[in-house]
Amino acid sequence: MDQQTILLTVLGMAAVTYLPRVVPALFFASRPMPEALRRFLSVVPPAVLGALLAQSVLLEKGALNLSFDNAFLWASALTSLLAWRTKGFFGPVLAGLCFVALWRAVF
């Protein structure tokens, strides 16, 4: 592969990566965001996080594991409850990590 092809590939990847981020930012920089869009965007991070974590929490070796010995399921429940009650992030995540470490040490 020649240098020009590599350069064009890198530039194309950069454009595909940054344009979807820059265009909305530039569009809404001087305009107020509609309230419906603001409400929708406020739930996107928790939804994405839930989707990313669900497989790690609920599956073990490709099978659904809702049993008592699923430490990740218990830790995620504890972390979710603490995050909901405290409205924090780092404290509940640290508590979840400590819970899994303690679970593994005990069981």
Contact (Cβ atoms closer than 8 angstroms) between residue 95 and residue 83: no
**Nearest in space to 78 (alpha carbons), one of 100, 48, 49:** 100
For the chain, the domains span 1-31, 45-106
pLDDT tens per residue, range 60-94: 888 999 998 899 999 999 999 999 999 998 999 99
Of all residues in the chain, the percent with pLDDT exceeding 90 is 72
- The SS3 assignment for 60 reads strand
Q: Is the pLDDT of residue 17 over 90?
A: yes
Band of pLDDT at residue 22, cut at 50, 70 and 90: very high
**Nearest in space to 97 (alpha carbons), one of 82, 85, 86, 87:** 82
Q: Is the pLDDT of residue 98 over 90?
A: yes
Compute φ and ψ for 20, nearest 5 degrees. Answer: -65, -20
